Amino acid sequence: MSTAIKRFDTIAATKTVANGSGNGRPFDILKIFGENTLHMNELKDRLPKQIWKELKKTIVDNAPLNSDVADAVAVVMKNWATERGATHYTHWFQPLTGFTAEKHDSFITPNQGGGAIAQFSGKELIQGEPDASSFPSGGLRPTFEARGYTAWDPTSPAFIMENENGSTLCIPTAFASWMGEALDFKTPLLRSVEALNKQGLRALKLFGIDAKRITSTVGAEQEYFLIDKEFYYNRPDLMMSGRTLFGAIPPRGQELDDHYFGSINDRVLSFMLEAEKELYRLGVPVKTRHNEVAPGQYEIAPIFESCNVAADHQQVVMIVLDSVAKKYDLICLKHEKPFAGLNGSGKHTNWSIATSDGMNLMDPGDDPHSNMIFLFFCTAVINAVYGYQDLLRAAIASAGNDHRLGANEAPPAIISIFLGDQLEDVFNQLQTGVATSSKKGGLLGLGTPVLPHLPKHAGDRNRTSPFAFTGNKFEFRAVGSNQTISFPVTCLNTIVAESIDEMCTELEKSLEGGVEFEEALGKVITKMAKKSAPVVFNGDGYSDDWQVEAAKRGLLNLKTTMDALPTLNSEKNVKLFEKHKVLSKKEVESRLEIFTEQYFLRVNIEGEATASMAQTMILPATIRYLNELTAYAESAGALNLKTKGTAKVVEKLSSNLEDLIEALEKLHEVNEDLGGDTSHEKAIHMAKNVIPAMNAVREVADKLEKLVADDYWPLPTYRDMLFVK
C-alpha cells in the first residue's frame, strides 16, 4: 500500500511573522538615500577642484578621460568604499545573458613588512579583464580567444553591495571583446544615447534652441510575483525555468479583481519596505508600490532617470528584490508568465527625451496643437515606431514574453501607438495640414458638492496598447518583466534618432530652398503624420477585430519570438544600427545568434523539465492512487458492495494516465532531437515541435491534478502557492 506524499498547505501558515531587520522602526529616507552610492556631489566634494572639472567634462560633454583624473578618482572611490567597510571591488557589467556579472578583487596588496595595504589605481578603475570565454559572444569571438575588457562608465555612479560578512564596491562598466566589439548591453545603449543626442541637438538648433545635451529619460515599472520559498523548492519547474510547467487553474484566481490595488499583506509589505530601504540606500529612487492584478503579483516603480543610469538601477532593483525576498522566505518570480491562466508580468518602460536643462520634449503643454517642438519630436517618435515595428517587436522577443504578448491581459504582438483623444485629434488635424485646436480635459464633477471637481486629463488611458502616450512620455508596455530594459531602450533611442535625422534632413532641404521655417516645419510634420498614420490606434488592442484591421493597415503581426527575432538583422535594421554607430553588422548578428540561442536553451530546458516531472512525479502519483482505488474496489467486491462508481473513477483516471503516457512518448521523442545544428534550426524545432508536445503533456497532467487525491499530488498547487500567507 502506498503512502501519501507530504502536503504543503501548512508551511506558509507558520511564517506570518516577518524576519526583517527593520522591527517596524521608521527610517529617515532623506538621511539614508544614496548612502551606498558614490554620487556626483560626493565625488565633487572629495576630488581636487581641477580634477573634478575634468571629470565633469567627461561625464557631461563626453570628453576623453585622462589617466591623472582616473588615478585621483580611484583613490577617492577606494577611500569612500573602505570607509563603508568594503573589502573588494568589482567591475559590474551586463553581458548578453541579460543578467549582471561581477568578479570581485580585493583592495588588499601585501607590503614588504608582511602586512597589507589597500590599493586601487586608476588603471584598475578604468579597465578590467575578466576571463570572458564563458560569456555568450554570438560568434564574435571563438572561445580560445578569451580576452574581454570591462571599461569604467563614469556616467553611472559606483555603489556598494552589502553582505552580512562584508561589502563590495560595484563599478558600472561596459564589456567588449579584444577587437573592441560590444559584448554587453551597456555599450550600445551609450552609443544610442550619443546618436539621439546628436540628432536631437541638430533639431533643436533648427528651432533656435541651443541646448547642451539631450538624453532619453526612462522609468521602468517592475511587475513580479512572490511565493513562499518552500513551494518554490518543491517545484522543479519553477527552479529550472522560472515558470510553472504544470498547474490546474484554481477555483479562485483573479476573477474577483480583489487583489489589484488591494491592501498589502503584512509579510509582503515588510518585504517591500526592506527592499525599498535597500534601494534608497543605493540611490535608486523607487517611488510606487502596489498589488497587481493576479493574486501574489506586485509592482515597484521608480522615478525616471537618464536612460543609462535607469538601466543600471533597474538591474539593481531586480537584484535587491531577489535577495531581500529570500530573507522573508519568499521567492521573487520575474518570469513573464509564471502561472498559466493568470496575468503575466511586464516591465512598462516609460520613455521620453529631455534636455540637460530639464526640458521634457514630450511634454505637450496645454495646447499641443501649437507646441511645434512637441509636435516635431512626437511625430518623430510615431514615425520611428511605424518604420521599425519589427525591430521593437524583436527587442522584446523572448521565450517568456511569448506567453504574455497577445494573451488577453498584455499588449498584443502588433506594435501600434495609443495617443489618447486629445493627441489623436491633433494628429488627425496634422495629416491634413496645420493643427488649429486642442481638445480640453475640463473638470470632472462627481455629482456631489462635498467632493472636489477634478481636473480631467485630455486623454484616457489604454491598457491594451503596446506603446502608449501617457501625458508627457511614451510607455513601451510590451517589455517583459524578466528582461533588461537596455536593449529595448537602445532600439528606441536609435530609431527615434533616425526619424529625427530624416525629418531634419527634409526640413533643412526646404530651408535651403528658401521656404520659411514654419511652413517647412508644418510640411514635414504633415508628411510624416500622414505616412505613419496606420500605426496610431486608440481602440481595443485585445479585440479580434484589431487583428483584422491591423492586417488591413499593413501592420506587422509577429506573433512569436521566432517570427520576430530574425527581423533583427534585416538589411534595413542593420543599416540603421550602422548608420548611427550603435551596432556593427557583426554585433547585430551576434545578438541575433545569442537571443536565438537563449530562446532555444530556455525552451529546451522547459521541454526536459516537463518530461522529467511528468515521468517521475506525476505518473507515479497517479499510479499510486490508482492502486489504492483498485485495491479498494477489489475488497469492496469481495464484500459484495457496489463498485460501479469506483470503476468509473478508475476508468477516467486510467484513460487519462494512458493519454499522459502517450503525450509523454511524443515529448521524449522531440526532446531527443535538436532539430538541426544551427541555433536557428534548433529554435524553430523548439517552437514547432517541443512547445506543442509540452503543452499536450501539461493538458493531461492538469486534468489529472483534478482527479488524483490531493495528498498524493507531488507538487504544490496554484491554490497553495498563490495566496501568500
| One of 472, 547, 560, 570 touching ligand ADP (CB under 6 A) | 472
Which is closer to ligand ADP, CB of 119 or CB of 360? 360
| One of 125, 218, 430, 700 touching ligand ADP (CB under 6 A) | 218
Q: How far apart are CA 386 and CA 536, in angstroms?
A: 9
| One of 92, 149, 304, 487 touching ligand ADP (CB under 6 A) | 304
| One of 473, 477, 591, 698 touching ligand ADP (CB under 6 A) | 473
| One of 98, 219, 242, 488 touching ligand ADP (CB under 6 A) | 219
Bridge-partner residues for 536, per DSSP? 417
* Residues of this chain, 319-348, that bind Mg ion according to CB under 5 A: 348
Which is closer to Mg ion, CB of 348 or CB of 403? 348
Residue for grid cell 517611488 = 287
- Which of ligand ADP, Mg ion, none does residue 428 bind (CB under 5 to 8 Å by kind)? none
| One of 100, 167, 345, 350 touching ligand ADP (CB under 6 A) | 350
What's the residue count for the chain? Answer: 725
**Judged by CB under 6 A, which stretch of 39-47, 451-459, 466-474, 598-606 contacts ligand ADP?**
466-474
φ/ψ (deg, to 5) at 563: -80, -35
Rule CB under 6 A: say whether 470 interacts with ligand ADP. Answer: yes
For Mg ion, which residue has the nearest CB?
A: 348
Which is closer to Mg ion, CB of 460 or CB of 516? 460
**182 Cβ partners below 8 Å, 6+ apart?**
174, 175, 176, 188, 191, 583, 587
Rule CB under 6 A: say whether 355 interacts with ligand ADP. Answer: no
| One of 34, 242, 302, 338 touching ligand ADP (CB under 6 A) | 302
Rule CB under 6 A: say whether 270 interacts with ligand ADP. Answer: no
Which is closer to ligand ADP, CB of 54 or CB of 221? 221
Q: Locate the DSSP E strands across 2-147.
A: 86-92, 104-106, 108-110, 116-118, 127-128
Rule CB under 6 A: say whether 308 interacts with ligand ADP. Answer: no
C-alpha cell at 143: 572561445
**CA distance to 179, 273, 313, 380, 589, per residue, from 526 (Å):** 44, 49, 38, 11, 36
- Residues 74/75/81/86 CA torsion (nearest 10 deg): 90
The site map against ligand ADP for 552-591 (x = CB under 6 A) is ----------------------------------------
**CA distance to 262, 300, 408, 719, per residue, from 257 (Å):** 9, 19, 15, 16
**155 Cβ partners below 8 Å, 6+ apart?**
59, 190, 306, 308, 309
Which is closer to ligand ADP, CB of 199 or CB of 349? 349
- Which of Mg ion, ligand ADP, none does residue 698 bind (CB under 5 to 8 Å by kind)? none
Number of H helices, E strands in the chain: 24, 19
Shortest distance in whole angstroms from residue 302 CB to ligand ADP? 5
Which is closer to ligand ADP, CB of 472 or CB of 646? 472
Shortest distance in whole angstroms from residue 363 CB to ligand ADP? 8
Which is closer to ligand ADP, CB of 136 or CB of 344? 344
Shortest distance in whole angstroms from residue 217 CB to ligand ADP? 4
Shortest distance in whole angstroms from residue 475 CB to Mg ion? 5
Residue for grid cell 484616457 = 460
Question: Hey, CA dihedral for 226, 227, 232, 238, is it positive or negative?
Answer: negative
**Judged by CB under 6 A, which stretch of 65-73, 292-300, 301-309, 703-711 contacts ligand ADP?**
301-309
Q: Taking the chain, what is the end-to-end CA distance rounded to the nearest angstrom? A: 34
3-state secondary structure 434-499: CCCCCCCCCEECCCCCCCCCEECCCCCCCCCCCEEECCCCEEECCCECCCCCHHHHHHHHHHHHHH
Which is closer to Mg ion, CB of 192 or CB of 470? 470
Q: How far apart are CA 571 and CA 556, in angstroms?
A: 17
Q: How far apart are CA 155 and CA 65, in angstroms?
A: 12
| One of 119, 360, 431, 612 touching ligand ADP (CB under 6 A) | 360
**Judged by CB under 6 A, which stretch of 470-478, 546-554, 614-622, 693-701 contacts ligand ADP?**
470-478
Q: Residue 93 carries which DSSP code?
A: B
Which is closer to Mg ion, CB of 175 or CB of 476? 476
Helix (H) / strand (E) element for 379: namely: helix 372-387
Task: For the chain, state the CA radius of gyration.
Answer: 28
Shortest distance in whole angstroms from residue 723 CB to ligand ADP? 26
**443 Cβ partners below 8 Å, 6+ apart?**
453, 454, 455, 456
Which residues lie near ligand ADP (CB under 6 A)? 217-219, 221, 288, 301-304, 350-352, 360, 470, 472-473
Which residues lie near Mg ion (CB under 5 A)? 348
